[in-house]
A and B are shown apart, each in its own frame.
Chain A
Amino acid sequence: MSSLELAERALAAAGGADDVMVTVVTERSLMLRYARSRPTQATAVDDLTVEIAVARGGRVGSASTNATDDEALARCAREADVAAAAMAHTTGEDGFPGFPAPRPVPASETFDPATAELDAALGGAALKQAFDVAERHGVEAHGTWTVGDVETAIASSAGIAVAERSTDSFMKVVCIAPSGRSGYATAADRSVSAIDPAALAASAAGKATVEGEPVSLDPGEYPVVLESYAVADLLGQLAWHTFNGLAYVEDRSAFSGRLGSKVASPAINLSDSPRYPRTFQHGFDSEGTPKAPLPLIQDGVATGVVHDTASAALAGTHSTGHANMPGGSPFGPIATNLVLVGGGAASAEELCAPIERGVYITRLWYVNAVRPKETLLTGVTRDGTFLIEDGKITRPLVDMRFTDSALGLLERTQALSADSALTSDGEFYGRRFANGSVCPALRAASMRFTG
């Protein structure tokens, strides 16, 4: 039975309710982990989720199960209905306007049959390649290799009946030298054949073995070059706190009251682009609303935020196709396909050229919002931090903590590289959902380091 057929069965089970949306997400996935050039863990998942959401009186009650027999579907429908009834009974008739009507979903490039085979032997060979390269460089390899095959189907009482099958693959290599210095490289694509384990390992090993004793910099402000990984870390935080339409209408976003204002350097052009060729494409969101490109910052000016049906109703506008659960998540909608347009510099290395003394950052870690409305973030550098002197990377740096405004960094951005990469964290908490940001490297006039 296909996911859409299962969704329609569940919709039938909820036949008594007026406004119902059923989502079925079927996941098959395999993830291999390794450390110190040895395999450590391997997880194969074969599971699905049937979620039934019932809208009643301006409220949405939900229930989910991973059982597919008639009795389980009927029980799940009852639980959703009881939840919706309790909500509507308690608080009256306003709020959620109802699940959206069907709209045509544009075609997306989402599936690769070879990746869907979830070939464990291919994963084992990828690990072996990474181990071999690491050994040649005198370092140890740590990381993950993973492939997934996820089908999402939505059926609603309003007539939505859509399905999309997506594959994704991701490999991460962290090489650690005997000195303790480390380097990082990842690749993500819907096709596992696009992942080159040896090239990733060579890149990570190269960073781990940059010559010279690590030096420390005093806290302060320094010019920086951020690789695409670090840029994606910052943009991911903005996606949660700033481009989020619910935070926007609740006056918690840095964009609240500032749409149309300058918020970044004129070099910054950022959009959510779900059909961009190199991203993990998605044709529709969790409410079956078709996805479409949405500018967020154009020439440095704040131009948009993302909405689901619930936040759009509060804002007096329409959904932009960014629901991450039917009826809206308490955390609000989120942009999952950010694309930052690159600039004229050939590479991250070329971005270093004008810097007399600055910091080169491969990636950031444990980035958290200190004060979201100010986009004030803190985090640390990791797996490849270097000193830039007279336009060139000269020595490793001891990792540093930054505490700075993400929009401030985009305001201080001077140049971007022409090349860009799809950056995904490959974490997959809960049900697997591949997403990532396509980013270039950037140079900013200053970044504030606090320790």
Chain B
Amino acid sequence: MRQILADLMDAASGRADYADVRHVTSASEGMSTRNGRVDMVRHDSDAGFGVRVRIGGAWGFAAARGTEKAAAEGALERAIAVAQSQPLVPGAGPLAPEAPARGSYATAVEIDPFEVSLEDKLELLLAADEGMRGDPRVTLTMAQFSAYRQDKLFASTDGAMCDQRIVECGGGIVATATSDTDAQVRSYPGSHRDHVAQAGWEHFAGLDFVANAPRVGEEAVALLSAPQCPAGRTTLVIDGEQVALQVHESVGHALELDRVLGREASYAGTSWVTVPDLGSLKYGSEQMNVTADATSPGGLGSYGWDDEGVAGHTFPLVKEGVMCGFLSSREAAAEIGLERSGGCMRADGFARQPIIRMTNVNLAPGDAGSLDDLIADTDEGLYLETNRSWSIDNRRLHFQFATEAAWEIRDGERGRLLRNPSYAGITPEFWGSLDAVCSEPSWRLWGLLNCGKGEPGQAMHVSHGAAPARFRNVQVGVA
């Protein structure tokens, strides 16, 4: 395969200003239960070439399935034809320089999740499913496991040749309790049943679903009769999972340089941040420190090289509240005069071209101790846990989130459970109200599998490191 890719890049040299090729072999395994029965077990695999060329500033990308040299050559011809068919791109400059990627990268895996028997996996899922169904008002229980493996070989006309094996696995459980007019949901460890990490079976086995299942079912039932979360402005203590999604939606996406430059205006949207803001924009309070870290152990945004051969590395996005970095590609970085790409180009499989994506965009831990310490330090407010819905405008400025559950905080104590909590805000005001982040032991990576972007659509796996955090004077009860 290495020879096929090397020959292809030789053939592309001279016909394109730049070209790269990935051969990607992907496999995934997914299974789930539903109300005590196995609902789904499936195994998916594919393999193919993705060839990308840049000619006169216009990109052409073509994907072809298989492992044969002829398929790769056909994709190269199609990519060149597509690039040449488009209108000219006046003033297109060179890509930001990058040393040719060479070497290998592999996820650290203790137990290969694909080698654990289906029976063992299903037994664990069914036990967790059963544990949630103690009350007849629990009308739907689900438990899910998923594993992914990707072998990727990359070469470019810059002389890159590197290979990577990335393994991910994880899952989650959820219980729905219903009444005539209401349906309430509780999940563990996060929403959407997809708490996945770049790791082996040990990650999934360590989540301890069976022990948590009864609480999940009981809380879903309790929410049916819990008081409605009141409306108004108050202090919020938000759990790490929801903070992670808040970082994703209102920080990570807003700092993607393609959005900032207007390249995604017709679909994903633009950004409230501009290029001249770099280094001076007050994004949040001094408690706010955010990095893009493609080296976080276990992160779904960790890798040796991105999909245009830039080595994964770490750089700050927000330092003590001031915006100081963008997620970028070689093209976008060069366009605004950065010395180097942020190494953020990733593609969803062989049949999609790389676009700017988040790596692990992490909110650094603070010094507020544990969640209990933070609640004890809060006179009055709400504690919100587990995302239920999310929506943000196309500039990543105005957002509204709902969580599965809330608890009153009074005099430093966690009080009554409340249903249907929601909150809304404006990105810099909200992050400006951050006054405490829990300490390192409460910090963890939260995986997301469904970050949608690009046309045709691409669903990317990303992680965000976060700990519970406190925000003052937030509007709640909007939904």
- B419-467 contacts to A, CB under 8 A, are 420, 422, 424, 452, 454-459
Distance in angstroms between the alpha carbons of A44 and B126 in the assembled complex: 42
Indicate whether B48 reaches chain A with its CB closer than 8 angstroms.
yes
| CB nearest neighbor in B for A219 | B478
**Residue in contact with A450 in the complex, picked from B126, B262, B267, B400, CB distance below 8 Å:** B400
Report how far A369 CA is from B42 CA in the complex, Å.
28
Q: Are B400 and A401 in contact (CB under 8 A)?
A: yes
The residues in B between 17 and 62 inclusive whose CB is less than 8 angstroms from any CB of A are 31-32, 34, 36-48, 57-62
Instruction: List, in ascending order, chain A residues with CB within 8 A of B75's CB.
Output: 44, 46
Inter-subunit contact B479/A370 (CB<8 Å): yes
B115 within 8 A of A: no
The listed residue (B38, B118, B262, B352) touching A35 by CB distance below 8 A is: B262
Name B366-410 residues within 8 Å CB distance of A: 388-394, 398, 400, 402
Complex formed: what's the CA distance from A90 to B400 in Å? 42
Q: Which residues of B contact A60 (CB under 8 A)?
A: 40
Q: Is the CB of A330 within 8 A of B40?
A: yes
1/0 per position for B67-106, CB-CB distance to A under 8 A? Answer: 0000000110011011101110110000000000000000
Interface residues of B in 110-125 (CB under 8 A from A): 118-119, 122-123
Is there an interface contact between A86 and B43, defined as CB atoms closer than 8 Å?
Answer: no
B266/A66 in contact, CB under 8 A: no
For chain B, the bracket of interface size reads 35 or more
CA–CA, A33 and B454, complex, Å: 9
Q: Which residues of B contact A31 (CB under 8 A)?
A: 455-456
Q: Interface on chain A toward B: helix, strand, loop, or mixed SS?
A: strand
State the Cβ distance, B29 to closest chain A Cβ, in Å.
9
Q: Are the C-beta atoms of A42 and B478 separated by less than 8 Å?
A: no
Contact check, A62 vs B42: say whether CB atoms are below 8 A apart. yes
Whether B178 is near chain A, meaning CB under 8 Å from some CB there, is yes
A380 and B87 contact, CB distance less than 8 A:
no
User: Is the CB–CB distance between A44 and B62 below 8 Å?
Assistant: yes
A176 to B422, CA, bound (A): 32
Whether A378 sits at the interface, judged by CB under 8 Å, is yes
Closest residue of chain B to A367 (Cβ to Cβ) is B391
Binds B, one of A152-160, A281-289, A421-429: A421-429
Which of A41, A83, A89 sits near B61, CB closer than 8 Å? A41
Is B197 close to A, CB under 8 A? no
B37, A41: Cβ atoms closer than 8 Å? no
- B478 near A32 with CB under 8 A, answer no
Q: How many residues of A contact B (CB 8 A)?
A: 90
Q: Which interface residue of B36, B37, B64, B178 has the most chain A CB atoms within 10 A?
A: B37
Could you tell me the distance in whole angstroms from the C-beta of B390 to the nearest C-beta in chain A? 6
**In the complex, chain B residues whose CB is within 8 Å of the CB of A167:** none
Bound together, the chains give a CA A316 to CA B34 distance in angstroms of 18
The complex places the Cα of A246 from the Cα of B267 at a distance, in Å, of 30
Q: Which of B160-168, B179-187, B313-321 contacts A (4 or more CB under 8 A)?
A: B179-187
Q: A47, A146, A172: which has the most chain B beta carbons within 10 Å?
A: A47
A91 adjacent to B126 (CB under 8 Å): yes
> Does any Cβ of B come within 8 Å of A432's Cβ?
yes
Which residues of A approach B to under 8 Å, CB–CB? 29-36, 38-49, 59-67, 76, 79-80, 82-84, 86-87, 89-91, 94-95, 120-121, 123-124, 127-128, 131, 140, 142-144, 146, 172-174, 176, 182, 250-252, 257, 330, 365-374, 376, 378-380, 382, 399, 401, 403, 426-430, 432, 450-451
Pull 30 A–B residue pairs with CB atoms less than 8 Å apart, ordered by A.
A29-B456, A35-B262, A38-B87, A42-B59, A42-B86, A44-B75, A49-B46, A61-B42, A62-B43, A67-B65, A83-B43, A83-B118, A84-B41, A86-B122, A90-B122, A131-B87, A140-B262, A174-B265, A250-B140, A250-B176, A252-B178, A257-B180, A365-B394, A367-B391, A382-B394, A401-B393, A401-B424, A403-B479, A429-B457, A451-B478
